[in-house]
Amino acid sequence: MASDKKEAAVKRAARKRSVAKERVKAKAYAKADAKRDEKKKVYKKKLSANAAIREQYEADTQSSYSGGKSSGEVEKAYKLVAAQEGISNGQAKSMIDRGLVYVGNKKVMIARGELSVKTEFKVQRIEKIRPIFENDDLIVVDKPAFLNSDEIERQFKGARLLHRLDRETSGVLILVKNEEFRLKAIQAFSQDEVYKEYVAWVEGVFIDEVMIDKPIVTEKRHNKAYSKVSQQGKPARSEVYPLEVSGKKSKVKIIIHEGRTHQIRTHLRSINFPIVGDELYGGHRAQRVMLHAKKVTLLGKTFEAPEPKVFRHFSE
């Protein structure tokens, strides 16, 4: 009898343990189900948001890039540009990468982006290189925007760049023909004996002249040069003078010393007057970076490049 009671007690204890385990499992399953349900809700929200983004993008693309026309057919931007302009795909891609292709007032940013086949493009042409001066020692040209300095050097065999201008910066660019003159010119640059005057349109109302004396350090970001003000940088000075105010933009004259990479762009941003079109340093989007190397005086000779027509836009 006693043994039967003991056996029954053991069985009851086993059942309790089993029930307890089942309850633990049930709770774990319920918790896991709740997590899955929550993940599903988040996932559905993301899908919904992405769908809304896609719908808006498609609507923007059709209205901005296709003049309101709708079409189910799409193609890569560079292929459409190539077909419209009668050029190679490579040439079309290069034009987009340079920032020369627009749809309406919007710059086409991604060459491989897909657009409606009905898209009509506006292509900005690169102006011709205009010679300013030439003798046995040097060649001076008015560099157009959207050309790299190296590309210009390749067009003048036997001449070497004495200095550089950024791709979207236009103006006076000097190439030298012989080593003797190059060494003299480099010494003049290093001793701050070269007068370098630029003009720029900047964001904001600029009314007081200022000397910006802030060291600059340059680093690589995504394989491109990027400069910033830093006490660990090299000395750099820029004199900035107001010339004109038009709405919320101002035209300024800049005289630079030292000539660090992106010196003007970095200095103007540091005083909250970024250059129009200079998105890398805080400026609003425009046809180009509105910076022009207007005048250079080197070893007794002065070279000047007239301001591009686009610079008159903000004055009118």
Say whether 136 is catalytic. Answer: no
Distance, in Å, from the CA atom of 230 to the CA atom of 274, rounded to the nearest integer, reads: 18
What confidence score (pLDDT) does residue 113 get?
Answer: 86
What confidence score (pLDDT) does residue 11 get?
Answer: 64
Backbone angles phi, psi at 20, to 5 degrees: -60, -45
DSSP state of 306: P
pLDDT per residue of the chain (316 residues) written in tens, 0 to 9:
556 666 666 666 666 665 555 565 556 555 655 665 665 565 555 545 444 444 444 444 444 444 444 446 888 888 888 888 888 888 888 888 888 888 877 788 888 888 888 888 888 778 889 999 999 999 999 999 999 999 999 999 899 999 999 999 999 999 999 999 999 999 999 999 999 999 999 999 999 999 999 999 999 888 889 999 999 999 999 999 999 999 999 999 999 999 999 999 999 999 999 999 999 999 998 888 999 999 999 999 999 999 998 888 776 6
Distance of CA 22 to the CA centre of its chain: 61
What confidence score (pLDDT) does residue 4 get?
Answer: 64
Distance, in Å, from the CA atom of 170 to the CA atom of 217, rounded to the nearest integer, reads: 24
DSSP state of 125: P
**CB-based contacts of 56: which residues, under 8 Å, 6+ apart?**
none
Distance, in Å, from the CA atom of 260 to the CA atom of 235, rounded to the nearest integer, reads: 8
What confidence score (pLDDT) does residue 166 get?
Answer: 94
Whether residues 189 and 235 share a domain: the answer is yes
What confidence score (pLDDT) does residue 64 get?
Answer: 44
Q: Is residue 224 part of a domain?
A: yes
Residue 97, domain CATH: 3.10.290.10
Q: Is residue 56 part of a domain?
A: no
Domain count, the chain: 3
Domain, as residue range, for 291: 130-315
Q: Is residue 60 part of a domain?
A: no
Whether residues 92 and 33 share a domain: the answer is no
Whether residues 137 and 248 share a domain: the answer is yes
Whether residues 218 and 91 share a domain: the answer is no
Put simply, whether the predicted model's pTM sits higher than 0.75 gets the answer no
Question: Is 94 exposed, middle or buried (CB count within 10 Å of its CB: 0-12, 13-18, 19+)?
Answer: middle
298 half-sphere exposure, CB direction, 13 A CA radius: 27
SS3 at position 10: helix
* β-pairing verdict for 210-213 and 249-257: unpaired
Please identify which of the residues 136, 166, 192, 213 carries the catalytic annotation: 166
Distance, in Å, from the CA atom of 107 to the CA atom of 285, rounded to the nearest integer, reads: 9
What confidence score (pLDDT) does residue 68 get?
Answer: 45
Helix residue ranges, H only, 191-235 = none
Distance, in Å, from the CA atom of 303 to the CA atom of 295, rounded to the nearest integer, reads: 6
Helix residue ranges, H only, 163-251 = 179-190
Only one residue has tokens 């200079």, namely: 278
Whether residues 20 and 110 share a domain: the answer is no
Q: Is residue 32 part of a domain?
A: yes
DSSP state of 272: T
Whether residues 179 and 291 share a domain: the answer is yes
Q: Is residue 64 part of a domain?
A: no
Distance, in Å, from the CA atom of 46 to the CA atom of 54, rounded to the nearest integer, reads: 12
Residue 108's identity, in one-letter code, is V
What confidence score (pLDDT) does residue 221 get?
Answer: 85
Distance, in Å, from the CA atom of 144 to the CA atom of 289, rounded to the nearest integer, reads: 12
Distance, in Å, from the CA atom of 64 to the CA atom of 108, rounded to the nearest integer, reads: 11
Distance, in Å, from the CA atom of 173 to the CA atom of 162, rounded to the nearest integer, reads: 8
Q: Is residue 246 part of a domain?
A: yes
Distance of CA 130 to the CA centre of its chain: 27
